[in-house]
Chains A and B, each alone.
Chain A
Amino acid sequence: MADHLLEVRNLSVEFHTAGGVVKAVKNVSWHVERGETLAILGESGSGKSVSTSAILDLIDMPPGRITSGEIRFDGRDLLKLGSAERRDINGRRIAMIFQDPLSHLNPVYTVGWQIVETMTAHGLPRSKAQSEALRLVTRVGIPNPSDALRKYPHEFSGGQRQRLMIAMALAMKPDVLIADEPTTALDVTVQAEVLALLKELQRETGMGVVIITHDLGVVAEIADRVVVMNAGEIVEAGIAREVYHNPRHPYTRKLIGAAPGKGEMHDPLPRAEPVLKVRGVAKTYGTFKALDGVGFDLMAGETLAIVGESGSGKSTLARILLRLDEPDAGEALWKGRDLFRLSPAELFALRRDLQMVFQDPTQSLNPRMTVFQLITEAWIIHPEILPKAQWRTRVADLLAQVGLRPEHANRYPHQFSGGQRQRIAIARALALEPELIICDEAVSALDVSVQAQVIELLNKLRREMGIAFIFIAHDLPVVRDFADHVMVMQKGRVVEYGTVQQVFDAPRQPYTQALLAAGLDPDPDVQAARRAERLERRPA
């Protein structure tokens, strides 16, 4: 059998936890060649990053234990080497970059120091490492590289931090680069740039790349081959195009089917008198203009999606509409009454009509309250809605409505999965029988298949209860499947507004076009075509 650059054979890893032994991966085998990109695709809890952690000796033992398998590199089994030999390979021969570079860079050292450290840890003299660091930071496209080296991680944007992580990982010209969800926390346009940079660097150095992701679009954009993981096992492996077009395993088919952005787009509702008229909203923080003259109309039962990248002001707008923050100017007429000029008492009475569902249900649900307490809290505050005798049955109804069971009422949030927690948050919002629900990135933190279920739930609520939604998202395909109207925001301003068909099929503004072009399609052929098109357009 020919030797691969890096090969994982029959690897099984288990973790000994208070709740018993968890088999994180079972008999996992994959390999990567020089110059090739392998994607490990899976949802949260699938064990997709366990095998790469084993390669870099990052699994804490205990509680972890490698029960079988080998990791072949350079004709040796890494698992049989001593810790000093493993450390020598880490960073020099095999390097890794992670999701969320802010927490993966040490906050108290300059980025220059951290890049230099990769080299000095492997015996390079400091002076040489310093000039090399400058070259690397220039190469990954950081402006003012020599100043940048003296700055700290928090002084950079998310995309720049990931570029710096890449510079740090590539300092010793490794043979293999492992990238664990490297673009998940980034805006779409930044994601596209970072992936393009990775591809370029791979062409220059010929390294093998292993990319761990939950995103079919990332696989389509960058991977040659893909292995699909579910519940600790590889369910399917092959050439990325073939796996996408002819998935053999039911799980792969489900994953591809759940990818958003392929459904029927909504037809626009007949025009009617809007329930919410927002005009000229402005908000400034210090010298930063978060919102500048924002306005829109929303009809009863309509879904308006507000899309934009980080810093576009979309979440600030949501907070201001709910008066969680005060605007500097503008008005928001809810059935003719200006939300911004209501007295605290009037606002209190009106709050029940307007509810919000937040991005991270782990943080937005009080961990010390049961589901019953979480939902009924609203009725304690607004006692006119429901007499106490009916609370039990109404909670059971609400849970059934969001696809949970009545007996779930006595459990605590941590006993649920992420998707279930978001359903609880939705049930809590429904408890007040609102007419408008503002969802701030409500499905962004969820796995694709769970995301599809929550969207389905929201669609059902809209159809059956006529609730209007303001749906704030950075993920365009989800918006495409769910919205009636779309408002695109950039730097606190509305750059485009239209029906979902108008915006997605015929975007008028260059920014909207760029946003749509930067989004990744799950189909590798579509991505290949887009890459070719980009290459053509690029000036020679």
Chain B
Amino acid sequence: MLTFIRKRSMASLISLVGLVVLVFFLSRLTGDPTDLYLPIDASDEMRAQFRELYGLDDPLIVQFGRYVGNLVQLDFGESIRKARPAIDVVLEAFVWTLQLALITMALVTVAAVVVGSLAAFRVGGFFDRVSGILSLVAASAPDFWIAIVAIVVFAVGLGWLPTSGTGTVWHWILPIAVLFIRPFGLIVQVVRGSMISTLSSAYVKTARAKGVRTRSIIFVHALRNAMLPVITVIGDQAASLLNGAVVIETIFGFPGVGKLMIDSILQRDFTVVLASIIVTALAIFVMNLLIDLAYAALDPRIRH
């Protein structure tokens, strides 16, 4: 168990290092932050001073060495834009994204598992057809468009919900609802497919021959086996939410890591971009670990 986590951590560390190198140099290609932060008519002297202050005057490789040197001491550098430690800025935003992602995925999982299981129980039945059409529409819906329509209808037109920002419970409803749709549609289909094959499996036949109740056959015998492929997809979808749903967060003015990242890229706030990527990468690593553990918890055959 511990060796497993250690092995996994080592492998992830290598990809993290690669990621940091790539992002560090690629982000430098977008240009010099000096041009954005100083007025157009700033003197060459002021520019040089600014560069010196943020260490932008050294050769790239020296900047990188300094960055890595600080990073191993857990110093992620200063945000140029906010004039605060970059890691503070990122963690603040990450907490918002984490909450949004967890609530959304919890709702998606429960809803998709119930709907997908019931659809699989009577393949071709009324419920299966309705949920089949709905999940297909949901899985292929363009979420940015739905987000805008939802704001127009529920916030502007009906005035039931706030358009954007945070503050009350009501502010959460539209972003969660919009983010819900696509993973829901996708996972319903995965659950349905997986449940159809487990419901036709031999051990379900045994359970029927034993006189086990239908409810227990679906939710005890079949579901636990059917969850294995489903968990992989849930993890994949959760990862994309943890990355920050850039478009949705931007539309709803939600102060999450996705919005922070896009703002920081546009503002060439390199330290924040790098810190965001490291934090989300770590979060995704932790989540993948949880998925592996969930696999082992569900299936005794992979417990060693």
Contact = CB atoms under 8 A, between A and B. Distances in A.
Instruction: Tell me if B's interface is mostly helix, strand, loop or mixed.
Output: helix
A104 B221 contact: no
Interface in B245-304: 298-301
A106 B207 contact: yes
B154 interface: no
B211 A106 contact: no
Interface string A59-102: 00000000000000000000000000001111110011010100
A395 to B, nearest CB: 37
A100 B205 CA distance: 13
B83 interface: no
A122 B221 CA distance: 17
A451 B213 CA distance: 42
A259 to B, nearest CB: 29
A293 interface: no
A104 B225 CA distance: 13
Contact of B209 (A91, A105, A154): A91
Interface string B16-46: 0000000000000000000000000000000
B225 A108 contact: yes
Contact of B211 (A87, A103, A104): A87
B11 interface: no
Contacts of A104: 202-203, 205-206
Nearest to A168: B210
A527 interface: no
A107 B225 contact: yes
Given A98-B202, A103-B201, A104-B202, A58 B209 contact: yes
B298 A87 contact: no
B203 A152 contact: no
B225 A90 contact: no
B211 A92 contact: yes
Nearest to A62: B124
A83 to B, nearest CB: 8
B211 A89 contact: yes
A95 B210 CA distance: 7
A107 B301 contact: yes
A98 B300 contact: no
Contacts of B84: none
A95 B224 CA distance: 25
Contacts of B221: 106
A106 B208 contact: no
Contact of B212 (A107, A108, A117): A117
B278 to A, nearest CB: 37
B298 A58 contact: no
A56 interface: yes
A56 B207 CA distance: 11
A445 interface: no
Max chain B C-beta neighbours (<10 A), residue from A87, A92, A108: A108
Contact of B203 (A57, A91, A106): A106
B209 A107 contact: no
A108 B224 contact: yes
Contacts of A109: 224
A118 interface: yes
Contacts of B210: 90-91, 95, 117-118, 121, 168
B203 A105 contact: yes
A87 B209 contact: no
A152 B299 CA distance: 10
Contacts of B299: 107-108
A57 B205 contact: no
A25 to B, nearest CB: 18
Contacts of B298: 108
Nearest to B207: A106
Contacts of B209: 56, 58, 90-91, 95-96
A319 to B, nearest CB: 24
A107 to B, nearest CB: 6
A78 to B, nearest CB: 13
A9 B147 CA distance: 63
Contacts of A105: 203, 206
Contacts of A122: 211
Interface in B181-207: 201-203, 205-207
B211 A100 contact: no
B203 A107 contact: yes
Contacts of A103: 201-203
Contacts of A92: 211
B211 A98 contact: no
B225 to A, nearest CB: 6
Nearest to B204: A106
Max chain A C-beta neighbours (<10 A), residue from B209, B298, B299, B301: B209
A87 B205 contact: no
A109 B224 CA distance: 9
B205 A106 contact: no
A109 B216 CA distance: 13
B211 A107 contact: no
Contact of B213 (A56, A57, A58, A121): A121
A87 B213 contact: yes
Nearest to B209: A96
A519 to B, nearest CB: 28
B17 to A, nearest CB: 34
Contacts of B301: 107, 152, 154
Given A107-B299, A107-B301, A121-B213, A90 B208 contact: yes
Contact of A121 (B201, B211, B300): B211
Max chain B C-beta neighbours (<10 A), residue from A106, A118, A152: A106
Nearest to B303: A152
Contacts of A100: 202
Interface string A306-333: 0000000000000000000000000000
29 contacts: A56-B208, A56-B209, A58-B205, A58-B209, A87-B212, A90-B208, A90-B210, A90-B211, A91-B209, A91-B210, A91-B211, A91-B212, A95-B209, A100-B202, A103-B202, A103-B203, A104-B202, A104-B205, A105-B203, A106-B206, A106-B221, A107-B203, A108-B224, A108-B300, A109-B224, A118-B210, A118-B211, A121-B213, A121-B216
Interface of A: 56-58, 87-92, 95-96, 98, 100, 103-109, 117-118, 121-122, 152, 154, 165, 168
Sort A-B residue pairs by CB-CB distance and give the 3 closest, nearest first.
A91-B211, A90-B211, A91-B210
Interface of B: 201-203, 205-213, 216, 221, 224-225, 298-301
Given A106-B203, A107-B300, A152-B301, 8 more contacts: A56-B208, A87-B212, A90-B210, A91-B209, A103-B201, A105-B203, A108-B225, A108-B299
